[in-house]
Amino acid sequence: MIQAEISIYPMATRTTSASFYIAKAIESIQKMKNLRYEINAMGTILESDNIDTINSATKQMMETVHNLGIARVEVIIKIDSRRDKHAKMEEKLESIKKQMS
C-alpha cells in the first residue's frame, strides 16, 4: 500500500487564502479509480496500491490549479510505500494511538 501526503501551494494569488484552489484540486481527483484520499489542515493524504495512480493524482491536482490561471504552483509530496503489510491510513493512525498513554 502506498500513502502520499501532498501539499499544493498556488503562488502569486490575489489573496493570502489558498482554499479555493486546494478545493478545486481535490475535486479534480474525487472520481479517480483505485485512489482514496483524506484532507487535513496541512495537506491531503492520497492512498493507492499503485504509484502511477498517486503520480496521476498529483499531476491532476497541479494542472487543475494551473488551469485556474495560476502560473506557478509549488507541490510538496512525501511518499510511504510499504510492501510487507497492507495497512490503510486509518490502521496507521490506530497503531499510533495504541502507543500513546
Domain boundaries, the chain: 2-99
- Tens-binned pLDDT, residue by residue, of the chain (101 aa): 999 999 999 999 888 899 999 999 999 999 999 999 999 999 999 999 999 999 999 999 999 999 999 999 999 999 999 889 888 989 888 999 999 97
Residue 86: the pLDDT is: 86
Q: How far apart are CA 44 and CA 18, in angstroms?
A: 14
Q: What is the pTM for the complete model shown? A: 0.89
In angstroms, what CA-CA distances link 74 with 6, 22, 54, 77?
A: 10, 12, 17, 10
Name the fold adopted by 2-99: Alpha-Beta Plaits (3.30.70)
Amino acid at 76: I
Tally of CB atoms within 10 A around 96: 8
In angstroms, what CA-CA distances link 94 with 88, 91, 100?
A: 10, 5, 10
